[in-house]
Amino acid sequence: MQNKLKVLLINSLLKGGGTDNQCLLLARGLKELEIPVIVACPQRAELSSLLEDYGIETVHWEKNLSGIFQLWKIINSREISIVHAHHGRDYWPTIVAGSLAANKPKIVLSRHMAKSPGSWISKHYLLESCDCLVAVSHFTKKVLIQGDYDPLCPIKERHQRDPLLGDHRKIKVIYGGIDTQRFYPKKAIQLRNKLGIEEEHFLFGMIGSYDFPVGKGQLEFIEAAYQVQKLLPKSRFLLIGRGNMQQLLEEKIKSYSLQDHFFLIPHNSEIENWINALDCLVHPAIATEAFGLVILEAFACGKPVIASFLDGIPEAFEACQFGRLIPPWSIQELCQAMVDIGNWPPIPEEKRWEYHKKIASSYSYNIMAKNMLKLYDTL
């Protein structure tokens, strides 16, 4: 099928979240495999300039009343053979436009969240209406097939995650990938100096968006930092991200008198350098998590990770098993892991590169694109 393959990736956001980055990296990987690929996205999308930098063709598409007609026109005029949507909000426009197109392209949907789409129509008819649903982890596949129920959990989002109905054979697992040419071991002394982090300091860092109601565990990280700083005076703490919890986080840091030891930095384009500036990545997720690509990014830089034993996170941690998995919602376990790893000796450079090679061999975006291409060829 490859000689006839022409892929349209559909993304009505492309603002820079994990799903959007995966869409961009898939497009880049397919192009490097010499597969014709087009991305349908908003004209002024945050990541559209990166697509241009990689030489990936884009077509203007907005999710609005005329969006389905626009997609239908693109699919027909460009003779698209695969339409692939990444956000839940784009599933049904993709399905309807693809189904109405004269050339009947195969319809592929990716599920980047550890829960099924919430609408009644999706629960009953999504699988029937697509050719394949790609889950980004085995845990995500489990939720889509069996559901997941945790009614006693303090996080409401975890109480009831219902499965999809239909032909579950259409659900396939393909892990996400990272850019291992971007995330690799290197010195980041200048960034540490910028924060006043000395060589003897041990810098714990957390990276991720922080939106209400619970973010990705940032409040728990701050609470743990308060206790760890007393037990490990050389410890310092960094939080990188963006979201509507910022004021609350700043107030929490101030309430613990951590202003001289805790740094809050906006999301930026130097994430790979900041990971290299860390001594340990902390990922204390408490809500839902399909996989945890930031864990792979840290491993690729040769950094240990402390992460919650939650949803798809253990699958990402399995890649190197460097650091520690802890029970979610346990500040005590998080503190103990941070103190233990904070007392580790420096990691040898050759060891850091061993971890990088492990990630590059199995979790690069090139591998993801090859696996996706194999899937396309089976449809």
215 and 119: one domain? no
9 membership: H or E segment, kind and range:
strand 7-10
248 and 286: one domain? yes
Task: For 16, list phi and psi in degrees, rounded to 5.
Answer: 120, 5
167 and 202: one domain? no
The reply to whether omega before 314 is within 30° of 0 (cis) is no
70 and 93: one domain? yes
Nearest CA-CA partner of 134 in 186, 86, 90: 86
Query: Average pLDDT of 234-240?
Result: 98
pLDDT of 16 > 90? The answer is no
The total number of structural domains that make up the chain: 2
196 and 164: one domain? no
40 and 160: one domain? yes
Indicate which CATH number applies to the domain containing 198: 3.40.50.2000
154 and 206: one domain? no
3-state helix, strand, coil in the chain (%, to 5): 45, 15, 40
- Is 322 part of any domain? yes
Query: Chain centroid to CA 125: how far?
Result: 26
Rg (CA), the chain: 21
- Is 182 part of any domain? no
211 and 335: one domain? yes
Q: What is residue 286's predicted lDDT score, i.e. its pLDDT?
A: 95
Q: Which domain holds residue 95?
A: 2-177+364-378
pLDDT in tens, 245-290: 999 999 999 999 999 999 999 999 999 999 999 999 999 999 999 9
Q: Is residue 294 within 8 Å of residue 349, measured between CB atoms? A: no
225 and 355: one domain? yes
d(CA 339, CA 279): 12
85 and 215: one domain? no
159 and 258: one domain? no
Tokens of 64: 């609005």
pLDDT band at 355 (very low <50, low <70, confident <90, very high): very high
218 and 235: one domain? yes
- Is 183 part of any domain? no
- Is 14 part of any domain? yes
In b/e form, how buried is each residue of 69-89, taking b as 16+ CB within 10 angstroms?
ebbbebbeebebbbbbbbbbe
- Is 145 part of any domain? yes
pLDDT band at 107 (very low <50, low <70, confident <90, very high): very high
